[in-house]
A and B are shown apart, each in its own frame.
Chain A
Amino acid sequence: MPALVIAIGNHLRGDDGVAHHVADLLHGVTPLRVHQLTPEIAAELQNTDTVIFLDADPDAEAPSLERIEGPAGTTGPLSHSMTPGTVVAIASRLCGFHGEAWLCRLPARDFSASTELSSEAVAHLNHAAQLVHQLLEARCTSPR
């Protein structure tokens, strides 16, 4: 079954769009690019066995991969702004997703209006792409 990479963020807000820059470096995969996570993205996880979310994180010092485990909490009072965990939980419950879900945290520092990344975000792009490739190879799945 194929793997799915979801790049999250607004490329007009500086480092918020760092996930899209990492997605540009990935080979053999067509990432799903979104500004933010919404419920219907859960349906995209159907027929995949691995999903990797790429997201900017102002607290990250270096790119990292962490497994998203178990059901997440609720969506809160609004239902259209979600976390990777809630998307995975909905996909598991409604869309038959039983694979592995991972979150790749990407260092991000400057979220002002710009299409450029900060030097710190740029410095970690290749490493992040390498981490994603390694995970995909380890999972031995065909990228989607």
Chain B
Amino acid sequence: MAERIVIHPVTRIEGHAKISIYVDAAGEVESAQFHVTEFRGFEKICEGRPFHEMPGLMSRVCGICPVSHVIASSKAGDGLLGVDPPPAAVLQRRLLNYAQVLQSHALSFFHLSSPDLLLGLDSPPEKRNMFGLVEREPDFIRRGIRLRQFGQRVIELAGGKRVHPVWGTPGGVLHPLTREARDEMAGWITESIESLQIALGRLKSLLDSLQEEIRHLGNFPSLFLGTVNHDGGLEYYDGLIRIVDSEGNVVADRLDPRRYYTFIEEASEEWTFVKFAYYKPLGYPGGKYRVGPLARLNVAQHAGTPLADREMREFKQRSRGAVCESFHYHLARLIEMLHSVERIEELLNDPELLGEDVRARALPNRREAIGSCEAPRGTLFHHYTVDRDGTMRKANLLIATGQNNQAMNMAVEQAARRFVRPGHLTEGMLNRVEAAIRCFDPCLSCSTHAIGRMPLVIELRDKSGRVLDRITRS
């Protein structure tokens, strides 16, 4: 008799989701699905609005990575105007995107995943959280809090608000950066680099004891997609798309992100609100690919900053081809944070950053444009179509979590097959399935007001819906 185990909600992720694990008549895990249960409809909300409003509206898509949406939206706006933003505006956008990567990755690594990594996946769930870390690892978690504070502070100083900044605009940004703000940002650099080097050392020291999880929480071949700069290095603001396979071979290179629709297609499934992106030439589901920190480090040849380059060389030695273990998203995340701080320091030392001219102005000159950037979780595309007056007719947002959707479902299934014993459910089994999802750090919504109070219920049911076993976590 087939059975279904439901994990609802998935905890320590950004948004609302559940996991179904299907068990066959022999009591073995047959398959698993990661369902995103919220629906936000932002693409529809855009229709009928003036395109100039889009960066402000898009800032509300997400409370964790609003800057990335503002940047992709502003770049689409640049395209509609047919202008190049002034250099100071580009530098500000780059600065805030790095700050975004830093604060978002800090949340994912230190606040959401470190309880598993430092306290243990089988540690008591009531202790396996940030407070457990406060008790057991106070210096480690304090450094994580400070790193996120730094990223948020950069966004606040330049964008006016730490969450949902209204700062980017078609043609540039709204305000020049002040010298005082720049100097305050610079004061954080030394401590941040020290904290990240400590965190990297700590994570690497733990990897030997996590070999089971590394092997079975989303370890499979797939394509990897990310943006690289002109010499194949890490790039987050402007560049070309590269796709590599699990052997590290370049499958496609120098793809123009403004023509993403020629190589990426999206499929839908009736059991989730997130679409499934795939590499068009290989079809669905064969064209599955991963984006985000792991993918970016797999597609790029180097970081371009000294400390991150050293870490990246070591990272690439973990595999002869691409690094396929999704668990290493955590390590990749820390390397990207180090790279971001190094890049922030470079940008703060660039005199053009304080330039007064931050906005190019024009009337709309095009009916269709696409803006893209590397968001913390992967490549982000905003595709806008407007009418003659600049009123939005259509918007398509291709987000990183959708591009990782196939991989996340495979990771959940792999973890369930390896760790879940349907006849005797334990919380630790459940947590490993959730941990597979946390590797990807999916971002499902910007509103997390209520979920912290929702109970976690795992139920084992038979085909008729009868509850066979149940675990509740509040």
Contact = CB atoms under 8 A, between A and B. Distances in A.
A19 interface: no
B261 interface: no
A79 B12 contact: yes
Interface residues of A, number: 26
A75 B131 contact: yes
Contacts of B451: 78, 81
Interface stretch (A47-55, A57-65, A89-97, A130-138): A89-97
B152 A40 contact: yes
B466 to A, nearest CB: 27
Interface in A8-63: 33-36, 38-40, 42-44
Nearest to A39: B145
B163 A39 contact: no
Interface in B30-65: 63
A95 B12 CA distance: 24
Given A76-B129, A78-B11, A80-B107, A40 B149 contact: yes
B321 interface: no
Give the secondary structure class of B's interface. Answer: helix
B449 A81 contact: yes
B129 A77 contact: yes
Nearest to B106: A40
Contacts of B126: 74
Contacts of A89: 131, 134
Contacts of A75: 129-131, 452
Contact of A77 (B134, B142, B162, B452): B452
B182 to A, nearest CB: 20
B453 interface: yes
A43 B147 CA distance: 11
B449 A36 contact: yes
A80 B448 contact: yes
A39 B148 contact: yes
Interface in B432-467: 448-449, 451-453, 456
Nearest to A73: B131
A43 B145 contact: yes
A112 B453 CA distance: 21
A88 to B, nearest CB: 12
Given A40-B146, A77-B129, 13 more contacts: A33-B161, A34-B162, A40-B145, A40-B152, A76-B129, A77-B125, A77-B452, A81-B449, A81-B451, A89-B134, A93-B135, A94-B134, A94-B138
Interface of B: 11-12, 63, 107, 111-112, 115, 125-127, 129-132, 134-135, 138, 141-142, 145-146, 148-149, 152, 161-164, 448-449, 451-453, 456, 473-474
27 contacts: A34-B162, A35-B163, A39-B148, A40-B146, A40-B149, A40-B152, A42-B145, A43-B146, A74-B126, A74-B132, A75-B131, A76-B452, A76-B474, A77-B125, A78-B12, A78-B448, A78-B451, A78-B452, A79-B12, A80-B107, A81-B452, A93-B134, A93-B135, A94-B134, A94-B141, A94-B142, A94-B145
Q: Closest 4 interchain pairs by CB?
A: A77-B11, A81-B452, A40-B149, A79-B130
